Amino acid sequence: MMLMFRPLPWDYGVRNLLRRPGRSALTLLGLGTVVFLIFLVVAFVRGLETSLAVSGDPLVVLVHSLGAGENIENSTIPGQGAGVLSASLGRVETRYRQKHVSPELYLGTEITTESVKEPAMGLVRGVTLAAPLVRRQFQLIEGTWPVAGEAIVGRLAAAKLGCDPTELVIGRTVRIEGRPWKISGRFAAAGAAFESEIWCLVDDLQQAMKRQDLSLVAVAVSEPKGLADVSEFCKERVDLEWEATPELSYYASLQAHYGPVRSVAWLIVLLVSGAGAFAGLNTMYGAVVGRVRELAMLQTLGFSRRAIALSIVQEGVLLSAAGSLLAAAVALPLLNGLAVRFTMGAFTLRLDSVSLLYGLSTGLAIGVLGSLPPAWRALRMPVVDGLKAI
């Protein structure tokens, strides 16, 4: 007759943890640190992916010089390019007789602030009043649209420059290419890459840079077929040496460009998880080896090896779950929304539901995987030898 499986009482594992408060606290802290690092790396990856994903508009196409590709800041097209496109294209979004065509000069250059004289590399975009019509994520959250000699800053521009946000408040001055620009406002763009840029009037920027050309022309079309129209126009006018790239495709190419970065980040997650699993394994080995006589006695009392192994796994899972929750409680207020610099500009760490799922699941997995081998090793010992163990 098969005996009914009888597990150890639930509170037995809890009491065992409390019997060794020092070791349990150190294990809890170690597991919490591992899960916190996982949260950090996953939040970085999620923030980068989200920033690039929300930057593209499915009805916007970028016209730039042939072969510029991902390096639009190196593109050069004539200053009258916006007028040529407005006059030649039919499916351009138009409202109140204003065609949504935005001529832009985009570049990375050295910028200094009033208090920090050491120049930092920042992103500047020369625009016109058509820019908010095409960049539909744009929202002026403070101040006014710039006039000559003024600029507006994205909410992540300070993170990109590596300066204190108070350096870029309204009324302060930044120097771009040695020329001062008074900050007239601040803008947001729903997490898009534009938020790390400084915008000023394109004519002003051309004068400061002593240039008459543009980097690109952004065109908002009224229907998806308009994207093909712009591309066809650029192919027909081979003399212009222009190329049309849908904005979604442009940011998708950036996603692919930063693919190795994301792969390295996930590799770090794997290595950190492995290190955490080995640390948990080592800790649980120490805890189980010192309890060989106790485990043998439980077997003589009638508890099966499976029940005892389940109790050991329970202890590991309790510690890992507590460590994971502790890490989440620290990471949510500390990491979520934290701005970080990157080559493409700046973005915010994103500790969303997916990031939490990764971190908490990994923490629980470490608890289980770290408990099973020592439980298996201890329970393989014969009961008689276990009772004689010191």
Q: Tell me, what amino acid is at 372?
A: L
* Predicted pLDDT of residue 232: 92
Q: 133: part of which helix (H) or strand (E)?
A: helix 131-134
pLDDT at residue 390 is higher than 60: no
Q: Are 285 and 23 in contact (CB under 8 A)?
A: no
* Predicted pLDDT of residue 297: 75
- Got the DSSP string for 140-175? EEEE----TTEEEEETTHHHHHTS-GGGGSTT-EEE
* Predicted pLDDT of residue 382: 67
Q: How confident is the model at residue 180 (pLDDT cuts 50, 70, 90)?
A: very high
pLDDT at residue 220 is higher than 60: yes
Tokens of 75: 């593109």
What's the longest Cα–Cα distance across the chain?
95
Q: Are 257 and 70 in contact (CB under 8 A)?
A: yes
Tokens of 14: 């809890």
pLDDT at residue 242 is higher than 90: yes
Q: At what angle do helices 305-335 and 10-19 cross, to 10 degrees?
A: 60
Q: What is the CA radius of gyration of the chain?
A: 30
- Range list of β-strands (E), 189-269: 197-201, 216-220, 242-246
pLDDT at residue 154 is higher than 70: yes
Q: What is the pLDDT of residues 301-310, one digit of tens each?
A: 777 777 777 8
- Got the DSSP string for 99-117? E-EEEEEEEEEEEEESS--
C-beta neighbour count of 190 within 10 angstroms: 12
Beta bridge partners of 339: 348
* Predicted pLDDT of residue 383: 66
Percent of the chain at pLDDT > 70 equals 90
The least confident of 168-172, 293-297, 342-346 is 293-297
pLDDT at residue 122 is higher than 80: yes
Taking Cα atoms as reference points, which of 105, 195, 206 lies closest to residue 153? 195
Residue 111, Cβ density class (10 Å: 0-12 exposed, 13-18 middle, ≥19 buried): buried
Q: How confident is the model at residue 169 (pLDDT cuts 50, 70, 90)?
A: very high
Tokens of 101: 């065509």
Whole-Å CA distances, 120 to 127, 143, 172, 196, 346: 22, 24, 17, 13, 13
What are residue 137's phi and psi, to 5 degrees?
-80, -15
Distance of CA 58 to the CA centre of its chain: 22
